[in-house]
Amino acid sequence: MNAQQFTVHAPTEVLNQPPALEDYNLFEFDTPLREAVAREGASWVAEQAHEFGAILGRTETLKLGELANRYLPVLRTHDRFGNRIDEVEFHPAYHELMRLGIAWQSHSLPWTSNKDGAHVARAALTFLRHQVDEGHGCPLSMSYSVVPSLRIQPELAAEWEPRLFSTEYDPRCVPAEQKRGVLFGMAMTERQGGSDVRANTTRAKAIGKRGPGEAYEITGHKWFCSAPMCDAFLILAQAEGGLSCFLLPRWKPDGTRNAFHIQRLKDKLGNKSNASSEVEFHGAYARLIGEEGRGVANIIEMVRHTRLDCAIGSAATMRRAVAEATHHTNHRFAFGARLIEQPLMQNVLADLCLESEAATALAMRLARSFDESERDEMQRLFSRIATAIGKFWITKRGIAVVAEALECLGGGGYVEEAPLARLYRDVPLNSIWEGSGNVQCLDVLRAMRKEPDTVEALFAELRQARGMDTNYDRFVQRIEREFADANHIEFRARRIVEDLGLALQAAILLQHGNAAVTEAFCASRLSGEQRLVLGTLPVGLNYEAIIERTQPSL
């Protein structure tokens, strides 16, 4: 026998384990992201993103994400004297992540920059930051998203925007006018209605005059109020004129605490670093945004912008998961070779890389549509329908991708010390937040009915890639037939929106993508041969080239 087979190692000796994926630049080693940022008009942010990516990839920064999720937020409803305070305490790691996000303008850049592509630039910074921790991104996303709705009431925008656009994080619970910077949250849903906000029972009563900008008292509850330590919230409540949108601050104008009472924090599956709560309003002070009865219309732009962040966030989580999987398999040996060199593992990894790259491409394309919506009506229409499509499809695929990436690490991926366990718990949230999958599909149908030109804008985008791949051409023709058939369209909505998500990703890749990635994507997703699990790519594709674009070179 070969004596080499019986080499004795001490029990304490650690063999065949990969180094931790840390001290690397999240932007530099992400070719699909760098290409997408340049393609979608934000190449000017590359230097800033490179610097930010280096900070985020440091061992100590990645550790912040772990600590913020290990030491969870704690609710303090009263002080030691019995006074109602309704405050949430966070670990210092959470505060440092918030400080970083605000200092790098991931909550404000499109509103403070006059450069073209500012939404894409912010999307890239958000994409990088999200890979460290998902939870702290919630108040940053809502603070970014609130601006279009806030501007419906110009005097409120003038009062709050200077504080909102600050690059200083100020976590103190004091009146907004005393703070160096503020954050916004949102509270829409109630126990009895969930996504059906028309069923809301929270009431709003005018304190004096009724009308836009005026003061109201709010009495009722909210089933989900995320990030309850924010300084102000947009909420929905039933006024005399119907469901309306209000700005509800944590403190009243006289400097006393508002009647905003946190009942409990949610014990969530994931997103642990972020406090989500149930709240009650007991005659709380608020001001009306826009006209009474226009609540959904006035808050919907905030919702649409947060939906963009759901797509960006899930694409970012995919990226982190795929980076961990490719890194691990590049350093791990089994059955006589590195895992990354073995055909079946190559198939799985390449398939994961395809999903990650396609998600990144679509998320950044959606961000560009936000940049161009104000000056280009077709882009506004495209954004209106494509955001719901992208939110639906990217967040759904994220769940499958993270699960498969975890499996690439085997049992080591299933333990809490590895980041994949946390990513696996976090990733379903974006599919639920701001409307679950069914809500997104119904929103696509609603856009088709209320703004039929959104369909033309969507197909104008798809037609740009026509003639570049036979599988793609046949796939888009099938979608057109689906659209032409109105029978049972709501029943078929998920199938239609899934196909549209795939077609949008393929159109971007065909026009601008890497040849190996594009060939593999169209052959595996559009040809009718797609299987239900990842790792089932057809034979003969350039797996190595696909993986190399996504693999961190460490």
Comparing CA positions, the residue from 511, 521, 512 lying closest to residue 542 is 521
370 occurs within a structural domain: yes
Q: Report the pLDDT averaged over residues 395-400.
A: 98
Give CA–CA dist 405/401, Å, rounded.
6
Sequence-ordered alpha helix ranges (H) in 104-245: 109-112, 118-130, 137-150, 154-164
Tell how strand 232-239 and strand 184-187 pair up: parallel
pLDDT for residue 3: 47
Summarised one tens digit per residue, pLDDT across range 501-525 is: 999 999 999 999 999 999 999 999 9
Give percent of the chain with pLDDT exceeding 70.
Answer: 99
**Whether residue 347 sits in one domain with residue 245:** no
**Whether residue 139 sits in one domain with residue 189:** no
Domain total of the chain: 3
**Whether residue 88 sits in one domain with residue 39:** yes
Summarised one tens digit per residue, pLDDT across range 185-205 is: 999 999 998 888 989 999 999
Q: Provide the CATH number for the domain around residue 334.
A: 1.20.140.10
Contact 95, 282 (CB under 8 A): no
Q: Provide the CATH number for the domain around residue 213.
A: 2.40.110.20
Domain final residue pick, 104, 137, 164? 164
**CA-atom Rg of the chain in angstroms:** 24
Amino acid at 444: V
**Whether residue 306 sits in one domain with residue 278:** no
Q: What is the mean pLDDT of the chain?
A: 96
Summarised one tens digit per residue, pLDDT across range 459-487 is: 999 999 999 999 999 999 999 999 889 89
Summarised one tens digit per residue, pLDDT across range 234-280 is: 999 999 999 999 999 999 999 999 999 999 999 999 999 999 999 99
Summarised one tens digit per residue, pLDDT across range 60-92 is: 999 999 999 999 999 999 999 999 999 999 999
> Phi/psi zone of residue 262: left (φ > 0), alpha (ψ -120 to 50 degrees), beta?
beta
Give CA–CA dist 481/24, Å, rounded.
47
109 occurs within a structural domain: yes
**Whether residue 517 sits in one domain with residue 463:** yes
Residue 553 has pLDDT above 90, yes or no: no
Give CA–CA dist 27/126, Å, rounded.
11
338 occurs within a structural domain: yes
**Whether residue 493 sits in one domain with residue 375:** yes
Give CA–CA dist 401/411, Å, rounded.
17
- Sort 491 into a burial class: Cβ within 10 Å, 0-12 / 13-18 / 19+: exposed
Give CA–CA dist 522/471, Å, rounded.
6
Q: In this structure, how many other beta carbons lie within 10 angstroms of the beta carbon of residue 179?
A: 18
For the chain, give the number of residues.
554
The residues pairing with 89 across neighbouring beta strands, listed in sequence order, are 74
493 occurs within a structural domain: yes
- Sort 263 into a burial class: Cβ within 10 Å, 0-12 / 13-18 / 19+: middle
In order of 84, 86, 87, 277, 407, the CA distances from 78 in angstroms are 4, 7, 8, 16, 45
Give 225's pLDDT tier (boundaries 50, 70, 90): very high
Contact 396, 156 (CB under 8 A): no
**Whether residue 319 sits in one domain with residue 276:** no
pLDDT for residue 195: 87
Domain final residue pick, 141, 164, 187? 164
Comparing CA positions, the residue from 338, 237, 309, 341 lying closest to residue 279 is 237
Domain range spanning residue 405?
298-548
Q: Report the pLDDT averaged over residues 10-35.
A: 95
Query: On the CB side of 322, how many CA atoms lie within 13 Å of its CA?
Result: 36
- Sort 6 into a burial class: Cβ within 10 Å, 0-12 / 13-18 / 19+: exposed
pLDDT for residue 5: 63
Find where tokens 């769940």 sit.
399
Q: What is the separation, in whole angstroms, between the first and last Cα of the chain?
A: 37
173 occurs within a structural domain: no
Summarised one tens digit per residue, pLDDT across range 97-128 is: 999 999 999 999 999 999 999 999 999 999 99
Comparing CA positions, the residue from 31, 79, 105 lying closest to residue 547 is 31
Give CA–CA dist 533/397, Å, rounded.
11
**Whether residue 510 sits in one domain with residue 375:** yes
Q: pTM to 2 decimals?
A: 0.96
